Chains A and B, each alone.
Chain A
Amino acid sequence: MKRLENKSALITGGAGSIGLITAQKFLELGAKVILVDLKEDSLQKAVESLDNPNASYIVADVTKSADVENYARKAADKFGKIDIFFNNAGIEGVVKPITEYPEDIFDKVIAVNVKGVWLGSKYVLPIMADGGSIIITSSVAGLSGTVGTSAYTTSKHAVIGIMRSVAVEAAPRKIRVNTIHPSPVDNRMMRSLEAGFNEKDAAGVKAELEKSIPLGRYAQPYEIADLVTFLASDESKFMTGTLNVIDGGMQI
């Protein structure tokens, strides 16, 4: 039997690099997957690229409770119960010192990265199967500070609070809740942040960041997906309330 045979999975940020490659891995391991993201055209492309009858999508703005309620209801209509919820959607905001950080962007980052994760937990928990697994995407920025990313850093610290709260609340139903904490991943978000740190020398920023990682490189999205898969599977059935750092040693 495949490791995720007969499991149903819901992935927010499903059109992004980590969400999409995780979906691919889940499908390979026998799960059925619904991708949730903001834009229909990206979702269509994502599902086409997966090329699997067990993949579908639902458009939603994770900051709006009506949208979240809707994706949870549709997922329940389709699968009955959800076994795996990868509560992953997030945005990076901009790179500016806090004294210059635009308030509207702070609000937006908190809305997506914190309220979106909270709303997801609120509306998906009731449709989850007992014994299911919720994985929340935090970051190494959830564990320490970086100059210029106050909104992102705040939001990624905050989701640890959501994770711990839901972990203790959902434990009686054997539902497990854990966070993952990647260091920079080789993807769109990092290209945006590299340019944010230094528009004129994004490549130089990348080289500096790589130097700060003992393994000497960024993570690849599939490496994050492997961790999410482990946390989603029954192999990790005694793991709940844990912080799972995947950072090439950056946080030491």
Chain B
Amino acid sequence: MSILKDKVALVTGAGSGIGKQVALKYAAEGAKVIVSDIVEKGGKETVDEIKAADGEAFFIMADTSKPDDNEYLVQQTIEKYGALHIACNNAGIGGPAAPTGEYTIDGWEKVIKVNLSGVFYGMRYQIPAILKSGGGNIVNMASILGKVGFANSVAYVAAKHGVIGLTETAAIEYAPKGIRINAVGPGFIKTPLIETAMDEASRNALVALHPIGRLGESSEVAELVLWLSSEKASFVTGSYYNVDGGYLAR
């Protein structure tokens, strides 16, 4: 299959987890992929994997919490591949775990900068480039915590709710101009942190929140992102799609 043939796609936070799987799938579907991450090692590994599978990719280091880095990322994408059609604003951090009355101000600012402002900065520079390239689409990584609360995660929950608002507003603005913009809301996804650092009781409690009886895989989220990024989703814009094993169903 090559449903993204001749497209240029940008993925932030693509050095690990969901972002990495998105980059791999975009490339497998024929897109030229700019792999971006704040960590050079992971990003380069993603590029190596794409190239090993005969795909096309290029690594650019960026800190999405900095406006200049986002501008640079888009400039370099155009420099390298001559266009930008698809962006997946995925980079995000968890932040500290503490109740609101004890949450550190630093922790709050860091999470909001990366998870919320980072998505705005990304779109701010991606949108003009996508318009110049003749249209395309953007997928922003929200979360189930973009719809409901979760104890000890006030900054993350607030940022992810905000991402949905950014998505809806930009979607209205750019629907007539040929850019679709959507958000994705994963449930809890298997990550090294959850797999190794959590004790079994906490892990089981987390699994129990998902009626399907397990946590998600990064690749399962990437399938949804890929679908939204493809022409198959040509009538979907301003939407928030969940991939959460039933987390929000009850």
- Interface residues of chain A, those whose CB is within 8 Å of chain B, are 163-164, 167-168, 171-172, 174, 176, 214-216, 219-220, 223-224, 226-227, 230, 235-249, 251-252
The answer to whether B175 touches A248, judged by C-beta atoms less than 8 angstroms apart, is yes
The answer to whether B235 touches A215, judged by C-beta atoms less than 8 angstroms apart, is yes
Contact with A along B204-221 (1 / 0, CB 8 A): 000000011100110011
The answer to whether A239 touches B213, judged by C-beta atoms less than 8 angstroms apart, is no
The answer to whether A246 touches B236, judged by C-beta atoms less than 8 angstroms apart, is yes
Q: How far is the CA of A235 from the CA of B243 in the complex (A)?
A: 11
The answer to whether A238 touches B250, judged by C-beta atoms less than 8 angstroms apart, is no
Q: How far is the CA of A196 from the CA of B213 in the complex (A)?
A: 46
Please name all residues of chain B whose beta carbon is closer than 8 Å to the beta carbon of A247 when the two chains form the complex.
235-236, 238-239
Q: Helix, strand, loop or mixed for chain B's interface?
A: mixed
Q: Does B249 interact with chain A (Cβ within 8 Å)? A: yes
Given contacts A164-B249, A167-B246, A241-B244, contact A214 B211 (CB under 8 A): no
The answer to whether A242 touches B236, judged by C-beta atoms less than 8 angstroms apart, is no
Contact with A along B164-178 (1 / 0, CB 8 A): 000010011001100
Q: Helix, strand, loop or mixed for chain A's interface?
A: mixed
Q: Does B96 interact with chain A (Cβ within 8 Å)? A: no
Q: Does B140 interact with chain A (Cβ within 8 Å)? A: no
The answer to whether B227 touches A252, judged by C-beta atoms less than 8 angstroms apart, is no
| Complex A-B: 15 CB contacts under 8 Å | A163-B249, A167-B246, A168-B250, A171-B212, A214-B175, A227-B233, A235-B224, A237-B220, A238-B216, A238-B243, A239-B242, A242-B248, A244-B241, A249-B238, A251-B238
Interface centre among A223, A242, A247 (most CB of B within 10 A): A242
Q: How far is the CA of A241 from the CA of B176 in the complex (A)?
A: 31
Q: How far is the CA of A220 from the CA of B212 in the complex (A)?
A: 32
The answer to whether A240 touches B246, judged by C-beta atoms less than 8 angstroms apart, is yes
Return the chain B residue nearest A235 by Cβ: B223
